[in-house]
Structure 1
Amino acid sequence: MLRQLLRLFSFRRQEPTVIAKEPDSVVLYAAVENAPQNNSCRSNARSALSPTILPSARPLPHHRERLLSMQLAHAKLCGTRRCQRLKGMGISTTGDLATADLANLATQFGAPKKALKVLKQYRRAIRFSASVPGMMPRDALLLISIHRRSVRGLAMESPARLHRDLERFAESTQGRQQLRGRRIPSTRRLKKWISECETAANRARFHAMVA
C-alpha cells in the first residue's frame, strides 16, 4: 500500500523536448512588380535636378551717363526759378548745359557777363563731377568754390584739410547761398573721392608711359 501511495504522489520526470534546429540563414524570394513610371514624375524630377536659370541682372548705368542725363532740378546746381528759365531755353538736363553754347545762352539773361561766368562754373562742376564716381554737380561746385578744380589736384589733397576748408566756406555768405541748408560732404565721402581721383591719376600716368 505504501508503494501505491508513493506511485500516486511521485512525479514522472519528463525528458526535455528536442526542437529541430532550423537553418541559420533563410532566403526569402519576393516578386517585385515594375510600377509604370509617370511622365509627370519624370518631368518633376528633371526640374528638381536641373539648375535654376535666373534672369540676367540689368547692369547699372555708368556714373557719367547717369549724371549727364540728370535733370537740372535734381542736380541742384541752381535754384528752381533759374532751372525753369533754362528749361524754357531748351536746357533741361546737365548734359544739355555741358554741351550748350554758353556765350549765346548768356545773352538771353539780363547781365550777360555775369550769367556767362555763372554758366561756366556750372559746366566746370558738371564735367568735374562726371570724372569722379559718386560725386554730384552740387558737390563739385563746392570744391570749385574753394579752388579744387581738377582730378589731379584733388588726388593730392588731404581729407582733413579739405573738410576744414569746406567748413570755413560754409560759414561765408556765398557758402550759405550754395548749400541752401544742406550739410557739407563728410570726411568719409571726401576720402572716397580722393581715392577715386588717385586711381584715375595713376591710370592716366600709366597710359602716358605706355604711349
Structure 2
Amino acid sequence: MLRTFLRLISRSHQAPVPVDLHSPDHVVLFAHLNRPLVNRPSQTPTLRQSVPSASSAETPSIGVPTRNHREWMLSQQLDHMKLFPEARCQQLCDMGITTAGDLVTVDLKSLATKFNSPKKSIRILKRYRQAIRFAATVPGMMPRDAMLLISIHRRSIRGLAVESPIMLYRDLQRFAESSSGRKLLRGRRLPSIKRIRRWISTCERRIAPRIYPTVDAHVATQCFAAAKAA
C-alpha cells in the first residue's frame, strides 16, 4: 500500500499498472444501477429572443432627447421647467402657451395685451424668452439657470466662454443673497461649480472654431483656453 501511495504522489511519469481484481492489495468499488443508461440526444439550450410588443415598439423612450438639446428644450412643458411662478404658469397655459417652444414663437405684443399690465408683462416675457433661448444653446443648462446668469449680466455663450467657474459662482452667491435673487431662486440651490465648469467648457468648444476658423476644432479649443488663461 505504501508503494502504491508513493507512486501516486510521485512527480516522475510512470506507466499505468493494471489492477488485479482478485488481489487483496487493491480495492475496487462497484456501483449497482437499477436502470441502464440510455444515450439521450444532446439538447442545446435555445435562447429566447425577446420580441418587442406592439405597444413598446410604438412608444418612444420617455425623458431622452430625441435629436438634440435644443429640440428637447423647446418641447418641455412650462410647469416642468420651474421657470415661472405657479400663477403665471397657469395664466400662460390658459392662453394656449403650454411649452417652451410656444413661448419662443408667439407674438409677445399680442400676448402681453391679455395681461393687466401689458408694458410690464412684455418686459417679463422677453426675459423668459431670452432665458429659454440661452438655455437651448448650452447642453445641460435649464431656463431657470439661464435666468440666474442673465440677472448677473451673462447673456451669451461668448460672454460665458471667457468666464472663470469660481468667479462666476461667487457672483451667483452674491446675487442669491439679494431680495431679487431669493425671489428668483424660490428656495432652490445654486448650480454647482461642476455644472458651471461644464457650461463654460461647452461654450469654449462652440466659440473657438469661430475665432480660429483655419485650424482643427480641438486645436482651436486649446488655443482659446491658452489665450483665456493668459
TM over 0.5: yes
Residue of structure 1 equivalent to 2:180 = 174
Counting helix residues as a fraction of each chain, which structure ranks higher? 1
Q: Which has the higher contact order (CA 8 A, sep 6+)?
A: 1
Question: Which amino acid letter does the alignment assign opposite residue 96 of structure 1?
Answer: D
- Cα distance change, pair 88–209 in 1 and its aligned pair in 2 (3 A): farther
Q: Secondary structure at the match of 2:189?
A: coil
Residue 128 of structure 1 corresponds to: 134
Return the alpha-carbon distance in structure 2 between the equivalents of residues 205 and 53 of structure 1. 51
Deviations 1:100-159 (A, max 9, x none): 111111111111111111111001100100111110000000000000000011000001
Q: Which runs of 5+ in 1 are unaligned?
A: 1-23, 27-34
What is the CA-CA distance between 1:73 and the residue it aligns to? 1.1
Tell me the residue number matched to 1:75.
Answer: 81
* CA distance, structure 2, for counterparts of residue 97 and residue 104 of structure 1: 12
Percent identity for Structure 1 against Structure 2 = 55
Which of 149, 159, 166 is the matching residue for 2:155? 149
Kindly provide the CA deviation profile for residues 147-205 of structure 1, in whole angstroms up to 9, marking residues without a partner as x. Answer: 00000110000011101111111111111110001111111111111111111112444
Number of aligned residues: 172
Query: Which structure 2 residue ranges, 5 or more long, are not aligned?
Result: 1-15, 19-38, 53-59, 216-230
Query: What is the identity, as a one-letter code, of the residue corresponding to 2:121?
Result: A
Aligned to 1:189: 195
Distance 1:96 1:159 in 2: 32
Q: Distance in 2 between matches of 1:193 and 1:164?
A: 16
TM norm structure 2: 0.66
Structure 1 length-normalised TM: 0.72
SS in 1 for 2:136: helix
Partner of 2:169: 163
Structure 2 distance, partners of 1:63, 1:179, is: 23
Q: Letter of the 1:67 partner, please give it.
A: M
Over the aligned positions, Cα root-mean-square deviation in angstroms equals 3.0
Match status 1:113 vs 2:127 = no
Aligned AA for 2:205?
T
Are 2:84 and 1:86 aligned? no
- Given the superposition, is the C-alpha separation of residues 179 and 201 from structure 1 closer, same or farther in structure 2, using an over 3 Å criterion? same
**Whole-Å separation in 2 of the counterparts to 1:54 and 1:123:** 44
